Amino acid sequence: MSQREKIVVFTGAGVSQESGLSTFRDLGGLWQTHRIEDVASPEGFAKDPAMVLDFYNRRRKVLMEAEPNAAHRAVADLEKGFEVVVVTQNVDNLHERAGSTRVIHVHGEILKNQSSADPSLIYESDKPEIELGDLCEKGSQLRPAVVWFGEAVMHLDESAKHFRQASKVLVIGTSLSVFPAAGLVDLAPARAEKVLITLDDDQTAPWGFEVIRGKAGDMTPRVAAAWLAGRTLL
């Protein structure tokens, strides 16, 4: 059997926006309504753990009521013709729920719980909320298993390996402003076909990328259909 071409799909909050999840930097996005240092840093958690847990518990609830959209489904469809690795900055599980089988979460997973003392202790959650007093096996408070500012990004080497092997890269709905994750896109081979889908009229594409402006839910199925039919977009 001939080896299938590898597609790396790199996603950010914009791919889940049409599922009703807030982005970070758009008008009304999470970082416009909340201070990063309050809700997304170890210092913020130490200062007011109840407020931070409440912030993530509310996001968990929104996610549990959300459904994957046409973009997530189109990404999953790509597996019909390609080896597909999804590298996502998103902490939601909508790619998995749409059917993608290889999803790498570089910024963690909001529905999982993590020890606040030992980041290697990560648990499947057994209830929707994390409350003050919910402890890890070593007796420390549990927190959501998301990467906060100042903490190490997850699976970076493994993600970099996939980018270097990609023959196509599809970037969807990310401002590419948070490093080191955003730097992964520069690792794709020069000859790879590279496409960025964004709603942002002003976003400039990384070197070698073709930009498609529009909603992820409209544009991703078009890109997927073209690639599955063996057409390039250029």
Catalytic residue set: 107
Q: State how beta strands 122-124 and 108-115 pair.
A: antiparallel
Among 17, 100, 113, 159, binds ligand OAD (CB under 6 A): 17
Whether the bond between 206 and the residue before it is cis, its omega within 30 degrees of 0, is: no
Site for ligand OAD contains 25 (CB under 6 A)? yes
Q: Which of residues 168-207 bind ligand OAD (CB under 6 A)?
A: 173-175, 177-178, 197-200, 203
Contact, 53 vs 132, CB < 8 A?
Answer: yes
Q: Cα 150 vs. chain centroid, distance in angstroms?
A: 18
| Of the candidate residues 12, 44, 68, 144, the single one contacting ligand OAD (CB under 6 A) | 12
Q: Which two tokens stand for residue 107?
A: 């910024």
Contacting residue, 6, 73, 107, 143, with ligand OAD by CB under 6 A: 107
Contact 88, 105 (CB under 8 A): yes
Task: Specify the residue, 167 or 233, whose C-beta has the smaller distance to ligand OAD.
Answer: 233
Tokens 């968990």 sit at which residue?
60
Is residue 151 within 8 A of residue 120, CB to CB? The reply is: no
User: Binding of ligand OAD at residue 44 (CB under 6 A)?
Assistant: no
What is the CA 63 to chain-centroid distance, rounded? Answer: 13
23 contributes a contact to ligand OAD by CB under 6 A: yes
Please, which residue, 105 or 162, has the CB nearer to ligand OAD? 105
Which residue in 215, 221, 222, 233 binds ligand OAD (CB under 6 A)?
A: 215
Q: Distance between CA 6 and CA 84 in Å, rounded?
A: 6
Of residues 61-90, those binding ligand OAD (CB under 6 A): 89
Min CB(230)–ligand OAD separation in Å: 25
Quickly count helices (H) and strands (E) in the chain: 8, 9
Smallest separation (angstroms) from ligand OAD to the CB of 198: 5
Chain residues binding ligand OAD by CB under 6 A are 12-14, 17-18, 23-26, 29, 40, 89, 107, 147, 173-175, 177-178, 197-200, 203, 215-216
